A and B are shown apart, each in its own frame.
Chain A
Amino acid sequence: EAGVAQSPRYKIIEKRQSVAFWCNPISGHATLYWYQQILGQGPKLLIQFQNNGVVDDSQLPKDRFSAERLKGVDSTLKIQPAKLEDSAVYLCASSPRGLGGTEAFFGQGTRLTVV
């Protein structure tokens, strides 16, 4: 079974530039999560999708971050414009059922460096 795919693996941008990350969850998984993990900290949930609807985006900085999950499959996370404090690993995860009832499967993440 293929895992969660993320791209790119690494990205370096200057502050105020824009960047987009892509995630392809495991086939058939209804729930998709985007997390931000700053070095030395645990993952912080940014947004949770159930199929193509948003379940929770309370911690998403909506003035600069946006995310979509078209057709309930792939998802993109965008930052515009980026700030230095956005430097982190962005993790995508999926799970078969919603509402945290089962384990989540994680991609390898995208390491973003904002300079």
Chain B
Amino acid sequence: SQQGEEDPQALSIQEGENATMNCSYKTSINNLQWYRQNSGRGLVHLILIRSNEREKHSGRLRVTLDTSKKSSSLLITASRAADTASYFCATNYQLIWGAGTKLIIKP
């Protein structure tokens, strides 16, 4: 069974808007990672947040983690066409993945 589940399954926004996607997981973790996948560059690591962290920033990305709710969110600010991709969360040791959120940025 999948450890992580992303929500929503698909998201379509205008370029320049912010995009928020969520991830829920089932068991305890020591870290949670977000990855992006598009046809051009394959799967690329975006950001890792450890279980003792609540928020982390990297450029236009902001990740939050709520271990009490077993959930994380990824915020992409000022979206660009190049952000069009599928976004996955992955947890812990075996990097068990959800089905992803498909993000489409409209020009």
> Which A residues are within 8 Å of any B CB, using their own CB?
33, 40-45, 48, 56, 91, 93, 99-109
Contact = CB atoms under 8 A, between A and B. Distances in A.
A56 B94 CA distance: 8
> Chain B interface mostly helix, strand, loop or mixed?
strand
Contacts of A108: 42
A101 B95 CA distance: 10
A102 B48 contact: yes
Given A42-B2, A43-B88, A93-B43, 11 more contacts: A40-B99, A42-B99, A44-B97, A48-B94, A56-B93, A56-B94, A99-B93, A100-B31, A100-B91, A100-B93, A105-B45
Contacts, number: 52
A84 B100 CA distance: 24
Interface residues of B, number: 22
B44 interface: yes
26 contacts: A40-B99, A41-B100, A42-B4, A42-B88, A43-B43, A43-B97, A44-B97, A45-B94, A45-B97, A48-B94, A56-B93, A56-B94, A91-B42, A93-B43, A93-B95, A100-B31, A100-B91, A100-B95, A101-B30, A102-B48, A104-B33, A104-B45, A104-B95, A105-B45, A106-B42, A106-B43
